[in-house]
Structure 1
Amino acid sequence: MTEILALSGITKRFGGLTAVNELSFSLAAGEVVGLLGPNGSGKTTVMNMISGFFAPTQGVIALKGEPIQGLAPHRIAPKGVARTFQLVRALPSLTVSENVQTALAFGKQRLWGEEARERALHHLEEVGLAERAGEKASDLTYIDQKRMELARALAAEPDLLLLDEWLAGLNPTELRTGIDLIQSLEQRGMTILLVEHVMDAIRALCGRCVVMNAGRKIADGPTDEVLRDPEVVRAYLGDDHA
C-alpha cells in the first residue's frame, strides 16, 4: 500500500524537557490509526509537528515521500494535511456555511463566491449539517460545532486527516453519531490519525494503534493486541494492573 505519512526519529525538546523522544511510525493510504497514551505523553505535540505548528528538534516527517518537517502550517495544509483541535475553533460571528467557506478560500483550490458556497453546502451535507448552513456558528450545539469543524477540515481536501480528541465530551448518542461520521470517511478511503481517549471509539474505528508514554513509543500494532500489552496497561493504570 502507498505510504502517506512517515515519521522517522522525531524528537521535540522544549528547553530541558523532551516531549517526544525519537518517535517513528508510518501510515498507509486508507488506514485509520489511533495515537494513544496517557495525558502528557506527547500525542498533541506529535500532531502539532505533523501539521506545522511546531518544528521537530530532530528527525524527518515525510508526507507522500516529501519531507515537511519545519514547514509552517499554511505551507503544509495545501500539501494535503487537515486537522481538528481539542477545542473547536469556530468563527462565531459567521454563519456555519461561511465558516466552511473560509477553509475553501485558503485551501488547495482557493474557491470564492457561488462556487465556494456550493462546495461548502456539499461538505455540510457530508456531516449532516446542511439544514443549519445559514445559522450563526455560535448557535450550534457542541456536537454540531464538531461537525462544522470536520466539514472545514474536509473542505481542505486532505490526503491525511488529523483528529485531536474530536470525540471528547460527547454524550453516548453524539458519540455514536461521531463514530458513524468517521467510519463514513474511512469507507471513502481517507487516511486518518486520531488522538483519542474513548476506548469504545478506538475499538470501533482503529485497526491499528500507536501508543506513547513519556514521549516515546511503547507499542504499535493491531488494536486488540496493543490494548492487552502489559506495558500499555501499566502506562494507563499503573503497575498493580499490569
Structure 2
Amino acid sequence: MSGLLEVESLTRRFGGLVAVDGLSFSVGAGEIMGLLGPNGSGKTTVLNLLSGALRPDLGSIALRGQAIAGMPAHRIARLGVARTFQIVRPLASFTCHDNVLTGLAFGKRRAWGTQARADADTLLDRVGLARARDALPGALTYIDQKRLELARALALQPDLLLLDEWLAGLNPTELEQGIALIQSLRGQGITILLVEHVMDAIRSLCDRCLVMNTGRLIASGLPGEVLAHPEVVRAYLGDDDA
C-alpha cells in the first residue's frame, strides 16, 4: 500500500484555542481510514485543513508527495481531493442533474457538454439517484440529499474522498445501504478518510482508525484495538467509565 496522504505536525489555532495540535498521520492509497473523537476534538477542522477551507498555522500536508498545505480549495480539488459536509449544501435552485454537472465542470478532469451530461447521469445512478435526475434537492429525502452530496463530490473525480459524518442520521436500512455504497467506492480505487460516530460503520468499513481528543491524536490502529483503548474510552465516556 503506497502513501497517498502524508500529514506532519499539523496545527491550527483559533485565538487561544488549539483546535489541531501537532497531528501527524498517513493514509495509504486504497485505504479507508476512520477519524474519530468526541465532539469538539478537532476532526472537522482537520478536514477543513486537508481540503483547503482553512490554512494551517504549522505543519505540512502532502498529496502524492506534493505539498498542498495552504493551497486554495479549488486547487486542492483539482489535484484530486473532494469532500462532503455534515450539513448538506446543494444548489437549491438546480436540479440534481445540474448539481452534479457543476462538480464535473470544476473537477480534476473538467468535463462539459454532452459528455458531462452523460457522466452526471452515470454518477446519479451510481449513488442511487437516477430516478431523481430532474428533481430539486428540496424534494429529496434526507438520505437522498446525502446521496446527492456524495455524487457532487465524486464529480470532482477524487483520489481522496473526505466524508464528514456522511452516515449520521440514517435509519438502519439506510445505514446498511450507505455502508455498501462507501465500500463500492473503495472498490473503484478511491481512498477515503471518514469522520464518523456510527461505530457499526467504523467496524465494517475502516482498515485503520485515528482518534483525536482536544486537538491531539490519542490512539491509532485497527478499529477493534482503538475502540477498546483506555484513553479512547475515557475520552468518550469520562474517567468513571474508563
Which moves more between the two structures, 185-194 or 96-105? 185-194
Tell me which residue corresponds to 1:83: 83
The alpha-carbon deviation at position 111 of structure 1 amounts to 1.6
The alpha-carbon deviation at position 189 of structure 1 amounts to 2.6
Tell me which residue corresponds to 2:102: 102
Tell me which residue corresponds to 2:30: 30
Tell me which residue corresponds to 2:202: 202
Contact 2:8 2:59 survives alignment (8 Å) = yes
Tell me which residue corresponds to 1:188: 188
What is the percent sequence identity of the aligned residues?
65
Contact 2:109 2:157 survives alignment (8 Å) = no
Tell me which residue corresponds to 1:56: 56
Distance 2:110 2:157 in 1: 12
Contact 2:82 2:160 survives alignment (8 Å) = yes
Amino acid at match of 1:49: L
State the secondary structure of the residue aligned to 1:170: coil
The alpha-carbon deviation at position 92 of structure 1 amounts to 1.3
The alpha-carbon deviation at position 110 of structure 1 amounts to 2.2
Contact 2:104 2:110 survives alignment (8 Å) = yes
The alpha-carbon deviation at position 108 of structure 1 amounts to 2.0
Which moves more between the two structures, 179-188 or 96-105? 179-188
Tell me which residue corresponds to 1:118: 118
Distance 1:28 1:137 in 2: 34
Per-residue CA distance 1:44-96 (angstroms, 9 max, x = gap): 00000000011100000001111100011011000000000000001111111
Distance 2:157 2:35 in 1: 22
TM-score when scaled to structure 2?
A: 0.98
Distance 2:17 2:148 in 1: 36
Amino acid at match of 2:165: E
Amino acid at match of 1:172: P
The alpha-carbon deviation at position 134 of structure 1 amounts to 1.3
Distance 2:108 2:88 in 1: 22
The alpha-carbon deviation at position 217 of structure 1 amounts to 0.2
Distance 1:203 1:195 in 2: 13
Distance 1:16 1:92 in 2: 37
The 5 A counterparts of 1:1-242 are 1-242=1-242
Per-residue CA distance 1:97-126 (angstroms, 9 max, x = gap): 000000011112222222111000011111
State the secondary structure of the residue aligned to 1:209: strand
Amino acid at match of 1:58: L
Amino acid at match of 1:197: H
Distance 1:137 1:54 in 2: 27
State the secondary structure of the residue aligned to 2:149: helix
The alpha-carbon deviation at position 187 of structure 1 amounts to 1.9
Query: What is the aligned-residue RMSD (CA, Å)?
Result: 0.8
Unaligned 5+ segments in structure 2 are none
Distance 1:151 1:200 in 2: 23
4+ long deviations beyond 4 Å:
none
Amino acid at match of 1:51: S
TM-score when scaled to structure 1?
A: 0.98
Distance 2:206 2:18 in 1: 28
Per-residue CA distance 1:132-182 (angstroms, 9 max, x = gap): 111112211110010111111111110100000001111111111111100
Contact 2:129 2:144 survives alignment (8 Å) = yes
How many residues are treated as equivalent by the alignment? 242
